[in-house]
Amino acid sequence: MVSNKVKIGILCMSILSMSGLVITSAFSAIIAAFPGEPISKIQMIATIPSLGALITTLFIGVLATKIPKKILALLGIFAVGLGGLLPIVFHESINALLVCSLIMGIGLGFIATINPMLLSIYFEGEERASLMGKGTAVTSLGAIILMMGGGFLGSQNWSNTYYIFLITILIFFLVMLFLPLDKIEKDFTAEHGGKKMNLMQTMGNLNKYVFLISILAFVMSFIYTVYPTNLSIVVSGKGIGGTSMTGIINAVGTVGGFLAGMNLKYINRAVKDKILGIGFLFLASTFILVLLFDSVFIMLLGAILSGLAMVMIMSTIPYYVSVVVRPFELAIAMSIFTFMNSLGGIISPMVLSWLGISFGNQAFLFAGIASAVIGVVCLAAQLGKRVFANSYQANQTNEAVLTKTEADNFA
């Protein structure tokens, strides 16, 4: 049995997952401090980390096949801390803040890719799925800590917001002390006569469900990004509040996500392999409820459903990736998943604009319909059952049965 220290060492990294959004609470003060800079450029301080994470996914999978994942996790935490703390000193220009955000994003890319790898190495079955849910819950908790803490610290001087990243020092030492040094998986298979495989060979031999599930991650990220980026527009348009009301709705959604993540084990037992389809239907309900009703209560209900959907989908997708690959393929498979997940969020606003879908109500309607269609397709196609039927463990069992049958026939 894996000790609780290992669980703490892995899960504490999730606190930093939403680090890129910390400075958004100080945007009004930053805009006032730099009146000559375009607002769109200042907003890039919060979006550049996604680009850094996307870049990281292009090489982190290869590094993880050659370097212990604990070392890579520590490098990621260090980069987040470096990118988060440097602005305390270097905050005289927006360009400096953008560079720091890029460094932070690179670190977040390390963490986002390595974290599910570590859970897959040390845990199996229901416990792995449950811990991935708790990881999503810790991400929600981390968002609350970072946003509220950063807002409090920066109340007098916006640059003091960055002091919240001193928490990276604590997380660095927790990981260093609690997480054991993992072994590097050998990258060869019996099918290749024990010969070492290169990156392209490994990708070519991946289970097809890795790519299917990763595409689903792209779609989820693409659709879900519509919610936080358009919520304030929808709320304001209904005349039921402004920034403060949007903040309350987001906070309720975050709490809902945290509670769902902590109880994902029981949700899994209730819905079993239908969790992805139901998750997308919950997400569709979020968009439709907020779009159709002007009630604050209904909007809060929608926020809870959004948090529940996020946990159900974004903890299940990496779990599905982990069960369909062989141990030495895990690093490459997780990097593909993380890349597609990051890409979906980055291009979502641009693609919607290109399609002529306006911000606010139209974007919500599009996202609601898309979520409902995907949810129905996942349920009709029995995606969960297909994933487990094509899992690495199932294939191993089938091979063992086949070998025994052949031996009996030979005898």
pLDDT tens per residue, range 38-60: 877 877 887 788 888 888 888 88
pLDDT of 146: 84
pLDDT digits 0-9 by tens, 207-226: 888 899 999 999 998 998 88
pLDDT of 372: 96
Beta strands in 224-380 (DSSP E): none
In a domain, 81, yes or no: yes
193 φψ region: left (φ > 0), alpha (ψ -120 to 50), beta (else): left
- The answer to which of 1-5, 77-81, 93-97 has the lowest mean pLDDT is 1-5
Separation CA 377–CA 385 (nearest Å):
13
Task: Find the domain containing 213 and state its range.
Answer: 197-406
Note whether 140 and 277 are same-domain residues. Answer: no
pLDDT of 199: 60
Separation CA 322–CA 329 (nearest Å):
9
397-402 average pLDDT score = 43
pLDDT digits 0-9 by tens, 115-174: 988 988 888 877 888 888 888 888 888 887 887 788 788 878 888 889 999 999 999 999
Q: Are 300 and 287 in contact (CB under 8 A)?
A: no
In a domain, 80, yes or no: yes
In a domain, 167, yes or no: yes
Structurally, the chain folds into a number of domains equal to 2
Note whether 173 and 222 are same-domain residues. Answer: no
Note whether 96 and 211 are same-domain residues. Answer: no
Angle at which helix 296-323 crosses helix 125-153, to 10 degrees, equals 130
Separation CA 338–CA 114 (nearest Å):
10
Final residue in a domain of this structure, among 137, 157, 184:
184
- Which residues make Cβ contacts (< 8 Å) with residue 298, sequence separation at least 6? 289, 290
pLDDT of 190: 42
pLDDT digits 0-9 by tens, 279-297: 999 999 999 999 998 888 8
In a domain, 238, yes or no: yes
Note whether 68 and 134 are same-domain residues. Answer: yes
User: In whole numbers, what is the pLDDT of the chain averaged over residues?
Assistant: 83
Neighbour count for residue 144 (Cβ, 10 Å): 15
Angle at 126 between CA 125 and CA 129, to 5 degrees: 95
Final residue in a domain of this structure, among 117, 150, 184:
184
pLDDT of 328: 76
pLDDT of 220: 93
Note whether 244 and 112 are same-domain residues. Answer: no
- The answer to which of 189-203, 284-298, 325-339, 383-397 has the lowest mean pLDDT is 189-203
Note whether 206 and 240 are same-domain residues. Answer: yes
Place 330 in a pLDDT band, splitting at 50, 70 and 90. confident
pLDDT of 181: 87
For residue 10, what is the domain's CATH number?
Answer: 1.20.1250.20
In a domain, 265, yes or no: yes
Separation CA 203–CA 213 (nearest Å):
15
In a domain, 56, yes or no: yes
Q: What is the pTM assigned to this prediction?
A: 0.76
pLDDT of 120: 84
pLDDT of 150: 83
Report the run of H or E that residue 187 belongs to, with start and end. none
Note whether 247 and 392 are same-domain residues. Answer: yes
Q: Are 276 and 268 in contact (CB under 8 A)?
A: no
Q: Are 138 and 261 in contact (CB under 8 A)?
A: yes
Final residue in a domain of this structure, among 184, 210, 244:
184
Note whether 228 and 271 are same-domain residues. Answer: yes
94-102 average pLDDT score = 92
With 80 as the cut, is the pLDDT of residue 8 above it? Answer: yes
pLDDT digits 0-9 by tens, 319-329: 898 888 887 77
pLDDT digits 0-9 by tens, 227-275: 877 787 788 788 776 656 776 787 788 788 888 888 888 888 888 889 9
Q: Are 190 and 314 in contact (CB under 8 A)?
A: no
Q: Which two tokens stand for residue 80?
A: 């987040």
Note whether 105 and 79 are same-domain residues. Answer: yes
Q: Are 336 and 210 in contact (CB under 8 A)?
A: yes
